Amino acid sequence: MIVSINWLRQFVEINLAPRELAHRLTMAGLEVEGVSDRYAWLDSVKAARVLSVAPHPAGENLTICTLDMGSGQPCTVVCGAPNVRQGMLSALALPGTVLPGGRTVAQSAIRGVESFGMLCSAAELGTGPDKSGIVELEKGAPGEKIAHLLNLADTVFEIGVTPNRPDCLSFLGVAREAAAVCGTRLVRPQIILPKGEGTIEEITSVAIEAPEHCPRYVARVIRNITVGPSPFWLQDHLLSVGLRPINNIVDVTNFVMMETGQPLHAFDFDLLEEGRIVVRTAQEGEKFTTLDGKEKILSSSNLMICDGKKPVALAGVMGGENSEINPNTKTVLIESACFSPMSIRKTAKSLGYHTDASHRFERGVDPTGCSAAAARAAQLMLEVAGGVLVEGEIDANPVPWEPKEVCLSVKRANAVLGTDLSCGQMQGLLASVELETKTLDSDTLSVTPPGFRVDISIPEDLVEEIARLFGYDNIPVTAPKLPMEVPPPRPAMSFRKKLRNIMVNLGFFEAVNYSFVAADTPARLGLSEDDPRQATLAVANPLSEDQAVMRTSLLPGLLAATGRNVNLQNRSVRLFELGKVFFARANEPLPSEQFMLAAILSGERNPLSWHEKAAPCDFYDIKGAAQALFEALKIKAVDFVRPAPGQADTLLPGHCAAMICQNKLLGILGQIRPEVCTNFDLKQRAFLLEMDVEALRAVTPDTVAFSPPPRYPFVLRDITLVLDKAVPSAEILEKVRQMKHPWVESVWVFDVYEGKPIEKGKKSLSFRITYRADDKTLTDGEVNTLHDNIGKTLLNAFDATLP
């Protein structure tokens, strides 16, 4: 809502500076989002004395004028005005001035003569209607600001009116609030209508066939009007709040809407067939062209204003092309109605309109204000368009407004606010915005909200009024009095926090990606048709194709982020994300939401440095990260196995693993298939780790049981086997463990070798075994015997040889 302070002053005495008024209104709930100078463009328009006038060599009634603009340095402008003459004081717009018509004054040559700015007419400056010649100032000195000399000053507020306060979508509503913060009184405009001719009932009628959508419809008729441009004052008022003048009749409807908040419509009465109004819902599929030239197909939920035969307006939204005011209009029918907010909103939304009228009707207009607004419009139309009023009004009011009393307990209001206001204080605050109160008993106030306050229906609405008018700043600051309690543990949340910290400690940066992805993402990930991640949930109104469905995997976001980073020359990428994926479910309105953890590695494991050469990361880097994660979580015995078919379609076969613990699949890891990388614009190898957070949590021990460190020293022995290349090293370790010898504490691989002199198809694996007894120090002899036995068993079991 744009508000001109000058216009506002017509209804209320304002005893505050504009900035202070803006602040007070904001603190009372009318947020002033912008404060601007109405005449900002006049800042660079100065008084200038014409020192001399000479004809322009190019003729065409142009003159070359020398001006004194108060700077001591005369300047030259080219002027085409007939009234320019030596000695006159006029208005010079300096170069850079943007005139109300949108034209920017430039310093330029006009037909070969340099012109420093432009001498302007009042119409060009937007200060008056006169366009016959340049402004002639009666007083003032060269160099003075024109706004000052013409006494033009106005401030414009841009107010963010909340949806519950449609009353403040009008000057009278804002003036009521301004009166409250200024401590002054609201003064309504006087409406005096001349005695009309004939009676309105003789010439027209209003039939409301859909009273649930239209509780009230007021109509007035004026004959013999003359359609034409509005007088300057009316145009100026509309321009001050950003409305475009159309013609005197339409301008009056807009003016009254701004003044009262009641949207009006004016019909050309002679274009209404049978000269009457019918309010009904549209027929399904009926076509209608609104006055912006758009044809719409209507549905039975759209409320229409019709004449005796056809629709003539989309009720509360926009008039029709077939009945709009035109230069030949002689008789006008003024509509001032009350429509159901929900009905108007549905129609406006479904047909794609948002107009000043629909904006107000959706929020609710004063059901008691129709008649006054119609009369006010009639008064102004007679003033600016002439004509003869038809006596009386039609007031079709099938659903009369009933005032509803709201009772407020003073005690309760104080309890909710934490204040200690007296009954009288509360009454005073409410009265300041025209909410009259009655005292029912010492604790109970009764308020019957006037029609313009459609937002007040329960006691809390009055508590809010009291609070905002008393001032939120004046309400004390206290601490809530509640029993002391320690919130219960939230293990799932704590676990995710822990996971994040572990990933950070492993050198990964946390990414946050949008939860929506492109619809073809599962295909781009290389997932098979029957993969559960194909069950995406589509967003009905996505902002773009890239955000069309909810993600079923964290991978697409991470892959795209990695690709972006590589393109930005961040070639070594370590990213992780912990977030939800969404799976559509049959027969369930809501999808299943599952927390996943995914990490991606790409580029170099370590940059080139003086310690070591740069090396690309590989499968064992991502596996190492997984193992470190398990170690940090104290998860033991995770098996890394070849994924089952369909488990890891995104990963390169032979270079990926499924992680299994306690017979549950925790997730997968490995190299991402190169074509999948390409699909996400990533041009280098990348390695993925993806885990189901809840599966991981299920195998994470809650506590750690301490076992004392061993008391006796260990003995190390190594063994190297040459065996078939296909044998996984883990099988050999497992074989050693299966022997379950109490002295074998641990066994691990410390070297893998293929190539000369090892035979082709074979590899050499070196293991180190730690021997330790828990009751004595082992002797060399004891260890040697056991180590030999283990060696023999392995040689036999794996058909291996010693190197």
Partner 1 sequence: MDIDKLKSDASGQIGAAKDLDELNQAAVKWLGRKGALSEFMRRIPELEPDLRREAGQKLNALKKELEALLEEARERISGSAQARDEGLDISLPGRPVAAGSIHPINQVMEEICDIFVQMGFDVVEGPEVELDWYNFEALNFPPDHPARDMQDTFFISGDVVLRTHTSSLQIRTMENTPPPVKVIAPGKVYRCDSDVTHTPMFHQVEGLLVGDGISFADLKGALTLFVQKMYGPNTPIRLRPSFFPFTEPSAEVDIGCVICRGSGCRVCSGTGWLEVLGSGMVHPNVFKNVGYDSSLITGFAFGLGVERIAMLKYGVDDLRRFFENDLRFLSQF
The nearest distance, CB 170 to partner 1, in angstroms, is 16
The nearest distance, CB 50 to partner 1, in angstroms, is 41
3-state SS, 730-780, equals HHHHHHHHHCCCCCEEEEEEEEEECCCCCCCCEEEEEEEEEECCCCCCCCH
Classify residue 289 as left (phi > 0), alpha (psi -120 to 50) or beta: beta
> Which residue, 479 or 644, is less far from partner 1 as judged by CB?
479
Residue type, 735: K
> Which residue, 331 or 432, is less far from partner 1 as judged by CB?
432
CB contact at 8 A, 581 and 591: no
d(CA 28, CA 22): 10
d(CA 386, CA 230): 12
373-407: b (≥16 Cβ within 10 Å) or e:
bbbbbbbbbbebbebbbbbebbbbbeeeeeeeebe
The nearest distance, CB 772 to partner 1, in angstroms, is 31
Main-chain phi, psi angles of 271, to 5 degrees = -90, -5
The nearest distance, CB 505 to partner 1, in angstroms, is 8
d(CA 719, CA 715): 14
The nearest distance, CB 29 to partner 1, in angstroms, is 3
Main-chain phi, psi angles of 314, to 5 degrees = -85, 105
d(CA 655, CA 646): 15
Going by DSSP bridges, is the β-strand pair 509-510/573-583 parallel, antiparallel, or unpaired?
A: parallel
The nearest distance, CB 322 to partner 1, in angstroms, is 29
Contacts of 709 (CB under 8 A, 6+ apart): none
The nearest distance, CB 13 to partner 1, in angstroms, is 23
The nearest distance, CB 19 to partner 1, in angstroms, is 11
> Which residue, 402 or 420, is less far from partner 1 as judged by CB?
420
> Which residue, 162 or 224, is less far from partner 1 as judged by CB?
162
Closest CA to 642 of 652, 630, 631, 656: 656
> Which residue, 60 or 485, is less far from partner 1 as judged by CB?
485
The nearest distance, CB 791 to partner 1, in angstroms, is 37
CB contact at 8 A, 285 and 298: yes
Q: How many CB atoms lie within 10 A of CB 281?
A: 21
The nearest distance, CB 740 to partner 1, in angstroms, is 38
> Which residue, 612 or 724, is less far from partner 1 as judged by CB?
612
> Which residue, 568 or 644, is less far from partner 1 as judged by CB?
568
Say how many residues make up the chain: 803
> Which residue, 109 or 486, is less far from partner 1 as judged by CB?
486
Q: How many CB atoms lie within 10 A of CB 627?
A: 15
Is residue 151 classed as helix, strand or coil in its secondary structure?
Answer: coil
Would the CA dihedral through 492, 497, 498, 504 be positive or negative? positive
d(CA 571, CA 232): 67
Residue type, 378: A
> Which residue, 390 or 633, is less far from partner 1 as judged by CB?
633
> Which residue, 38 or 574, is less far from partner 1 as judged by CB?
574
